[in-house]
Structure 1
């Protein structure tokens, strides 16, 4: 689906004015209005950023405009963009990039911005965990093949490091968690991100890393952003006053880039407990979540065997409407179209006298079209959701007009309406819409419809995904 210029709902306003003055550029005044524009998303789900999956005030990214492989031919190097916290990124002065008069260019971007790059690499040191946002390194290299006539490019950022979050609870013999300190023992703390490839160098500088600890009403939250590496056999030491509790990581404990690992640890000072602590529901949605384990720690004893981890979220239904959508009239009626990705579900029209159709254009691949000023709808039945919980759905929505209302399309799942809200971006720019907390059921029926009185622009739907934990 790489012909689309997608715009994430969480970042509909995230327009980045870019920068740089060079003889290779068009002769334009250095203003944000004349510069290259971007949208952006951050992959996965997280609370590392102060505002969750959005940007924080004064966040700054570095942007490279280049041609060719890697960073062999940089046209604009390490240009700084910052935000006031509202999702709009701008550059000033010499940091404004203009497209060259001829040819196409690619973009590489990273966070957080560093003025003192060496050999186009970002030095990373995770020894200080007090400011998680400052060490949450992001990288984007997806925006390729743009020129002076291109629409807004989207930077898809991915987390380069790993995150471990531990919920600590007071067990028998531990009256409270006041003064809790948690340290990863003998952990490699330094690496660098090669901006040309997005790869990390081999980590160095082993040290004891003190985590960020936040007290809560029912326990404490322990956060650490670590270099992706094998940590099997390493010790994590929990200290309260003069008492210490050691958790030895499993021999196969391997952290992967962009993934977040959750664990629940109960501290106790007496042996013989038989009750295991279950992992609570994960509500973070900004890193790729890898479920962890629950462990009970005795004072000066090895941890009790972990209980089974919680389920992993999976995409169990996905529909991209194939590749055979007609480019000209007559368009493909939704109910009679045959090139759907899924062959085990039923596709039909909600209305028999007016219907949504399947189409593609010169700039957009196959999608569903809801014509303006008409009452139309689509239905997908017999979606097998047996055994899945924590259901949610995402889809991409666009309008044939600027700043259209997302809610003009109605979503019903198994007869229940799931309201949406917000405003789409520019004309025919796709935005991701999320439907959360869908009631569990063995089979799902999804209906998406538009009423003539509310559909004044004409809407498009693509890439429906349904997620569940199994």
Structure 2
């Protein structure tokens, strides 16, 4: 069967051109139907627990030559936004996908500076692979079926995340005054994401830099960073016109892909107490207690 590429808006054919038992009829072309979920309800996309309207992913497979095909989340499902992927024989084929979509695909470069943190979905790179489908079973399920003895083909986070939660410690009240901002120091803020392999990595040649985030009255803040080797990270918190300094010890000496490193920062009368660090999925990481003095 020849490759057939059609503009979705002009195509008058149902995406599932088959009967209820998924059998092809009248030799009609069969289009791939895309189902996708983000790994683990706890491991959410930066902007929430579900896909947002008009989220875009790039889908590829090698047998038929489809590469970086744009599908868009609209009305509760992914639909093609141009080219439609059609099966060209009866054999199963394997698909991969990434988020967020880029027209060029390949190796994308990005920064995770303070400006980029204001639009975290744009740097929350996700990747999925291993989903198979065919003319007789055209649904491409980027889902986790391990509970049913299947395979985890869902989207996984490729970046690393740090989440800090600030609490009032001994001799401190947040009723009138709260921490204003914090700075993480000694980080590599630039890097790349390979849409074909799902590998995100920091730029090894870049100079380390500081990342300052305003809190705006909130007591929990998260940042997304490129995975990188980092045994420790400097932390400075501005509270009541004073700077409190501490060092975050990173478990295993690295910010790893898919991990959310969470610390509770207790602001005390003259120092900060850094509680345990946990990994959540975005995965919790445990660390020791660190005190920070003025």
Whether 1:257 aligns to 2:257 is yes
Give the equivalent residue in structure 1 for 2:103. 115
Give the equivalent residue in structure 2 for 1:207. 209
* TM-superposition CA deviations, 1:182-228 (whole Å, max 9, x none): 12113111222223332234524332223463645xxx102111111
Secondary structure of 2:3's counterpart equals coil
Give the equivalent residue in structure 1 for 2:148. none
Equivalent residue for 1:40, pick from 24, 36, 40: 36
Give the equivalent residue in structure 2 for 1:79. 69
Equivalent residue for 1:97, pick from 53, 61, 85: 85
Give the equivalent residue in structure 2 for 1:165. 163
Give the equivalent residue in structure 2 for 1:231. 230
Equivalent residue for 2:284, pick from 271, 289, 292: 289
Deviation at 1:48, TM superposition (A): 4.4
Looking at both structures, which has the greater relative contact order when contacts are Cα pairs under 8 Å and sequence separation is at least 6? 2
Secondary structure of 2:51's counterpart equals coil
- C-alpha spacing 1:236/1:47, structure 2 compared with 1 (3 Å): farther
Q: For 1:83 and 1:209, how far apart are their aligned partners in 2?
A: 32
The answer (yes or no) to whether the contact 1:173–1:269 under 8 Å persists in 2 is: yes
The answer (yes or no) to whether the contact 1:161–1:228 under 8 Å persists in 2 is: yes
In structure 2, the gaps of 5 or more residues are: 16-30, 143-153
Whether 1:30 aligns to 2:11 is yes
Give the equivalent residue in structure 2 for 1:130. 118
The answer (yes or no) to whether the contact 2:183–2:212 under 8 Å persists in 1 is: yes
Q: Which moved more, 1:134-143 or 1:226-235?
A: 226-235
Length-normalised TM-score, structure 2: 0.74
Give the equivalent residue in structure 1 for 2:128. 140
The answer (yes or no) to whether the contact 1:183–1:208 under 8 Å persists in 2 is: yes
* TM-superposition CA deviations, 1:426-462 (whole Å, max 9, x none): xxxxxxxxxxxxxxxxxxxxxxxxxxxxxxxxxxxxx
Report the structure number with the largest CA radius of gyration: 1
Count of aligned pairs:
258
The answer (yes or no) to whether the contact 2:259–2:281 under 8 Å persists in 1 is: no
Q: For 2:191 and 2:282, how far apart are their aligned partners in 1?
A: 20
The answer (yes or no) to whether the contact 2:260–2:280 under 8 Å persists in 1 is: no
Deviation at 1:141, TM superposition (A): 1.4
Structure-to-structure mapping, 1:343-362, within 5 angstroms: none
Q: For 1:267 and 1:32, how far apart are their aligned partners in 2?
A: 61
- C-alpha spacing 1:229/1:151, structure 2 compared with 1 (3 Å): same
Deviation at 1:140, TM superposition (A): 0.8
The answer (yes or no) to whether the contact 1:168–1:266 under 8 Å persists in 2 is: yes
